[in-house]
Amino acid sequence: MKHPMRSTLAVAWLLCAAGAASAAPAAGKPTPAAPGDFGPPRGEVIHAILTSPPMVPPPIHRDHPAKVIVELEVREVEKEISEGVSYTFWTFGGTTPGSFIRVRQGDTVEFHLKNHPDNKMPHNIDLHGVTGPGGGAASSFTAPGHESQFTFKALNQGIYVYHCATAPVGMHIANGMYGLMLVEPPEGMKPVDHEYYVMQGDFYTVGKYRERGHQDFDMQRAIDERPTYVLFNGSEGSLVGEHALKAKVGDEVRLFVGNGGPNLVSSFHVIGAIFDRVRYEGGLHEQENVQTTLIPSGGAAIVEFHVRVPGSYVLVDHSIFRAFNKGALAILKADGAEDKTIYSGKEVDSVYLGDKAANLAAVSEARAAEASGTLTKEQQIKAGQSRFTGTCSVCHQGNGAGLAGVFPPLAGSDFLMADKQRAIGIVLNGLTGKVTVNGSEFNSVMPPMSQLNDDELANILTFVRNSWGNSGDAVSADEVRKTRAATKRPEGAAH
């Protein structure tokens, strides 16, 4: 034949699968039934209900092992990773994280992986809940326009990550190819009021955080483990504002929390809540009264807590710069009656972030208006207020009054209103050293806010120059742009 088979290379590099090594059983020695093997499937064949995040398929009320068919389709899709920033996600089921799979321990799962014909890449799947070489990866390597099938028995209960394991594995994961599979114990799980699906991932783009337009994957940043974004459910806006998780006071909430990585370990925390129970590492054991639980890359946990007072609870990776500067932030909004004996309602975190979540609509509106050339000062003020809250209000306070002797006031500030150009420069480049505001001397440091966009800064400045007794003209994005262009600063300052 004319096809030289001269290659001495190995197939192995293609499929990087955890737990791939499997020793052959010693001949002649009978293998005892695995603890989670409840015999052959019985009853009707079941087509698994798959859900997109943050939803979780309904609990399984079944007293026998069944044959369950799972059909998962891989789609390569362009989606918003942050406001005005698009990214090409490679997905299991059209979303990042991928569809949630729920089966019962002992079920026989017939898995169909479909790679849509419009996709460019081959893909496969490694399910951490599968016992067998590669977790299915070697059996599911699928070209675009093709489908693979393999079958496994779900022997171990728990919450398990699945992910693509096609080379370059890190890139497939970084592009969003991961999700969770829950293997319920035979007796089922304790009923709760809400179950939600949240999964963290780190993303690496060529452009900087929130740099507009389509952003491509940056392999060098991924190798260096310097993510541009750290996100819950694949987008900065996925779980805030109208998309916030919902609950009522008195509810018990169960979160299935995964971490797809590819690189970072998550210090998962909910601001304002203490987890009653955590099934850490997704295993059998529970820890109680947990403030922050560690979720490894390629790992998951089940956390449960009671919502005792109303308000916005903020889910963060408590490696906290990721939350405030890379997007690892989500909201659970609880409605219901106040209980002042438990909580007075004045704690700073929950208030300012709650407002931030609620007011993002004003920011979008201003952006649209600016694009169409119809931006009004009033729209700028509204949009500026929501950005002020959560960024500037930390020091200058929500009412612009500052803190005596530490943070200068913006309300009725002679210093602010005296020189518009100077104000733009200070917000962009920071300010260190003595200033006198309304007759009082301040000597501290304001960091540069150059990570914010020109229009964001223009809106913030317009807001502060027209609030709390201040009255001035609008600051345009163009003015900010000019000041920014005239300033030299180190790459990535204030990030």
SS3 495: coil
DSSP-assigned letters across all residues of 438-464: TTEEEEEEE---TTS-HHHHHHHHHHH
Q: How far apart are CA 121 and CA 383, in angstroms?
A: 41
Q: How far apart are CA 105 and CA 154, in angstroms?
A: 5
Our CB check for another protein shows the closer of 178 and 463 to be: 178
Q: How far apart are CA 434 and CA 235, in angstroms?
A: 41
Our CB check for another protein shows the closer of 133 and 336 to be: 133
Query: Does residue 9 touch another protein according to CB under 8 A?
Result: yes
Residue holding tokens 């560690």?
Answer: 294
Among 169, 381, 423, 460, binds another protein (CB under 8 A): 169
CB of 230 to another protein, least distance (A): 20
Residues 242-261 close enough to bind another protein by CB under 8 A: none
Query: Does residue 285 touch another protein according to CB under 8 A?
Result: no
Among 95, 96, 99, 142, binds another protein (CB under 8 A): 142
Helix (H) or strand (E) holding 127: strand 126-127
Taking phi over 0 as left and psi of -120 to 50 as alpha, with beta for the rest, 248 belongs to beta
Interface map 58-97 toward another protein (x if CB under 8 A): ------------------xxx---------x---------
Q: Is 149 exposed, middle or buried (0-12, 13-18, 19+ CB in 10 A)?
A: middle
Our CB check for another protein shows the closer of 106 and 132 to be: 132
CB of 185 to another protein, least distance (A): 31
Query: Does residue 2 touch another protein according to CB under 8 A?
Result: yes
CA dihedral of 409, 411, 412, 416, whole degrees rounded to 10? 60
Q: Residue 102 in contact with residue 66, Cβ under 8 Å?
A: no
CB of 248 to another protein, least distance (A): 40
Our CB check for another protein shows the closer of 7 and 374 to be: 7
Interface map 21-40 toward another protein (x if CB under 8 A): xx------------------
Our CB check for another protein shows the closer of 119 and 393 to be: 119
Among 146, 190, 489, 495, binds another protein (CB under 8 A): 146
Our CB check for another protein shows the closer of 171 and 239 to be: 171
Among 47, 214, 422, 489, binds another protein (CB under 8 A): 214
CB of 77 to another protein, least distance (A): 6
CB of 15 to another protein, least distance (A): 6
Q: Return the HEC string of 218-274.
A: CHHHHHHCCCCEEEECCCCCCCCHHHCEEEECCCEEEEEEEEEECCCCEEEEEECCC
Q: Find all residues with CB under 8 Å of 462, minimum gap 6, and list them.
A: 377, 380, 381, 384, 474, 475
Among 63, 216, 338, 473, binds another protein (CB under 8 A): 216
Among 59, 94, 144, 412, binds another protein (CB under 8 A): 144
Cα angle 278, 281, 283 (rounded to 5 degrees) comes to: 80
User: Which of 106, 114, 369, 345 is closest to 249 using CA atoms?
Assistant: 345
Q: How far apart are CA 352 and CA 86, in angstroms?
A: 27
SS3 314: strand
Q: How far apart are CA 440 and CA 261, in angstroms?
A: 49
CB of 25 to another protein, least distance (A): 16
Rg (CA), the chain: 26
Query: Does residue 418 touch another protein according to CB under 8 A?
Result: no
Among 17, 113, 173, 316, binds another protein (CB under 8 A): 17
CB of 98 to another protein, least distance (A): 16
Q: How far apart are CA 229 and CA 206, in angstroms?
A: 11
CB of 150 to another protein, least distance (A): 15
CB of 208 to another protein, least distance (A): 16
Query: Does residue 143 touch another protein according to CB under 8 A?
Result: yes
Our CB check for another protein shows the closer of 21 and 337 to be: 21
Residues 118-137 close enough to bind another protein by CB under 8 A: 118-122, 133-134
Interface map 90-119 toward another protein (x if CB under 8 A): ---------------------------xxx
Which pair of tokens denotes residue 290? 């947990």
Residues in the chain: 495
Contacts with another protein, residue ranges (CB under 8 A): 2-17, 20-22, 76-78, 88, 117-122, 133-134, 141-146, 166-171, 206, 214, 216-217, 219-220, 223
